[in-house]
Chains A and B, each alone.
Chain A
Amino acid sequence: EVQLVESGGGLVQPGGSLRLSCAASGFTFSSYWMHWVRQAPGKGLVWVSRINSDGSSTSDADSVKGRFTISRDNAKKTLYLQMNSLRAEDTAVYYCARDCGSSDWPGHFDLWGRGTLVTVSS
Chain B
Amino acid sequence: DIVMTQSPDSLAVSLGERATINCKSSQSVLYTSNNKNYLAWYQQKPGQPPKLLIYWASTRESGVPDRFSGSGSGTDFTLTISSLQAEDVAVYYCQQYYSTPPNTFGQGTKLEIK
The answer, among B49, B100, B107, B108, for a CB contact under 8 Å with A95, is B49
- Expressed in whole angstroms, the Cα–Cα distance for A95 and B48 within the complex equals 11
**B: which residues have CB within 8 A of A?**
38, 40, 42, 44, 48-52, 55, 61, 91, 93, 95, 97, 100-108
Q: A44-B91, A50-B101, A113-B49 given; name 13 further pairs at CB < 8 Å.
A: A35-B103, A44-B107, A45-B93, A50-B103, A59-B100, A59-B101, A95-B50, A97-B50, A107-B97, A108-B97, A109-B42, A110-B52, A112-B49
Interface SS, B side: loop
B101 near A108 with CB under 8 A, answer no
Residues of chain A with a CB closer than 8 A to B91's CB = 44
- Which residue of chain A has its CB nearest to the CB of B105? A45
Residues of chain B with a CB closer than 8 A to A88's CB = none
- Expressed in whole angstroms, the Cα–Cα distance for A108 and B93 within the complex equals 12
**Chain A, interface size: which category?**
20 to 34
- Expressed in whole angstroms, the Cα–Cα distance for A44 and B42 within the complex equals 12
A47 near B102 with CB under 8 A, answer yes
Residues of chain B with a CB closer than 8 A to A112's CB = 49-51
